[in-house]
Amino acid sequence: MSVALIILAAGKGTRMQSDLPKVLHKIAGAPMLVHAMKSGATLDPARTIVVAGHGADLVTAAAQDWDKDAEIVLQTEQLGTGHAVAQAAPALDGFEGDAIVLYGDTPFIRPETLEAMIAARADHDVVVLGFEVADTSQKKYGRLVEADGALTEIVEFKDASDDIRALPLCNSGVIACDAQLLMSLVAEIGNDNASGEYYLTDVVALARARGKTATVVRCDEAETMGVNSKAELNAADAIFQTTTRAAMVEAGVTVQMPDSVYFSHDTYVGPDAVIEPHVVFGLGVTVENGAQIRAFSHLEGCHVSRDAVVGPYARLRPGTELAEGVKIGNFVETKNAVIEAGAKVNHLSYIGDAQVGERTNIGAGTITCNYDGVFKHRTTVGRDVFIGSNTMLVAPVTLGDESMTATGTVVTRDVPEGDMAVARARQDNKPGFARRMFEKLKAKKAKAAKEA
């Protein structure tokens, strides 16, 4: 059975106190909208429809950056969830299959939960995701009303009696239904309620009135967490981090001080890798089995191969590729650099727009001078090269295999295979000059102090 996702993402999010549309605020480096799309993507949907409104251009760009085939429909007036879903009707005209409604500000619905909802559709016309709360007095969610094991209606909190509000089973808002049936039901929704809005929740009662069946799939309340403020955004990010850290450890990663490590939504770390304290993973990082990321390192957009060691205090920027056994040490920064197996950049160096060959050793204080103020240029260093400390490699430049540079060299021309480059000013010692200069300066300072 084909599945279409309808993701509601039209709200402004006034409580966010931000010009950015609510669904574009980020958790672990990705907009909340992307988290919802990722969950739904596990169903292998035939269609993904995002209902945009406030900041529609930005929402469109974010959705299609994640999924270029995502379709965008507009809700120009925010008149309720039922009205929002109705905007997808033209896009789904003639679609044969199920539709599942998700929310761009609800990032934690698990793929397993969505799969359970689709499975329940085999026996029921409408499937609603619900959760139970222990303290009903503190929860202002809509309530799911059941009778004889069937879902009979959803009542919004504002419209509910005290008896209905006392029910522990709450509505998440997520609904699965045959797409054409859903659109037919949505078309019948009215706005005669306390809020004057078109509630998607009315589809259950409308379906029952047609003799259709409805049921509830239950999940933990944490899955249904909606994010409406910066405080809730922080709480959601903390939940993501806690969950991800636990999953990493369960998968065989050694995380030495989990609470200090920050993961992005797409971070991959292989088994037997070691992550020391205070490491930050930006977007697009893969760390293979057995690698070690030492304390206070920052990685983004990079690939670290087996048995490589990074840090402490290293920064790997986008485009960095470390082969097996590479060592990147303290206060080293790399960018758009391929560093081949066994090479070492142990300390205090910048390697950018470069290719470094196998087993090459980059001495302390080496800099690839890759930018001329307009263009970036590339440095190529062969295998088994020894780069002396404080070498400046002025790109574009190539150093052949088994070549070397003397300490303090500024390399402006290619170095052939096996050669050593020396390019520094000749040292000239001036007898007694330092003593005379300091005596003169101290006298000048004493005179100035006396005159003051």
* Per-residue pLDDT tens over the stretch 225-272: 999 999 999 999 999 999 999 999 999 999 999 999 999 999 999 999
Read off the pLDDT of each residue in 330-349 and give the average, rounded to a whole number: 98
Calpha distance 382→357 (Å, rounded): 5
* % of the chain at pLDDT higher than 90: 90
Query: 270 near 287, Cβ under 8 Å?
Result: yes
* % of the chain at pLDDT higher than 70: 100
Residue 343 is predicted with a pLDDT of 98
Whole-model pTM?
0.90
Read off the pLDDT of each residue in 143-155 and give the average, rounded to a whole number: 91
Residue 141 is predicted with a pLDDT of 87
The secondary structure of 167-195, three-state, reads CCEEEEEEEEEEHHHHHHHHCCCCCCCCC
pLDDT band at 446 (very low <50, low <70, confident <90, very high): very high
| Residue 27 clears pLDDT 90, i.e. is over it | yes
Calpha distance 408→393 (Å, rounded): 11
Which residues are designated catalytic?
347
| Residue 426 clears pLDDT 90, i.e. is over it | no
The sign of the torsion formed by the CA atoms of 15, 17, 21, 27 equals negative
Calpha distance 38→211 (Å, rounded): 34
Read off the pLDDT of each residue in 328-336 and give the average, rounded to a whole number: 98
| Residue 29 clears pLDDT 70, i.e. is over it | yes
Read off the pLDDT of each residue in 177-182 and give the average, rounded to a whole number: 97
pLDDT band at 136 (very low <50, low <70, confident <90, very high): confident
Calpha distance 256→65 (Å, rounded): 34
Domains of the chain: 3-224 (3.90.550.10), 253-421 (2.160.10.10)
Residue 138 is predicted with a pLDDT of 66
Residue 196 is predicted with a pLDDT of 84
pLDDT band at 22 (very low <50, low <70, confident <90, very high): very high
pLDDT band at 12 (very low <50, low <70, confident <90, very high): confident
Read off the pLDDT of each residue in 311-325 and give the average, rounded to a whole number: 98
Average pLDDT of every residue of the chain: 95
| Residue 313 clears pLDDT 90, i.e. is over it | yes
Read off the pLDDT of each residue in 413-431 and give the average, rounded to a whole number: 94
Residue 158 is predicted with a pLDDT of 87
Residue 28 is predicted with a pLDDT of 98
Residue 72 is predicted with a pLDDT of 97
Q: Kindly report, residue by residue over 37-95, the tens digit of the pLDDT.
A: 999 999 999 999 999 999 999 999 999 999 999 999 999 988 999 999 999 999 999 99
Residue 34 is predicted with a pLDDT of 97
CA-CA distances (angstroms) from residue 420 to 108, 345, 362, 409, 442?
Answer: 58, 19, 14, 10, 43
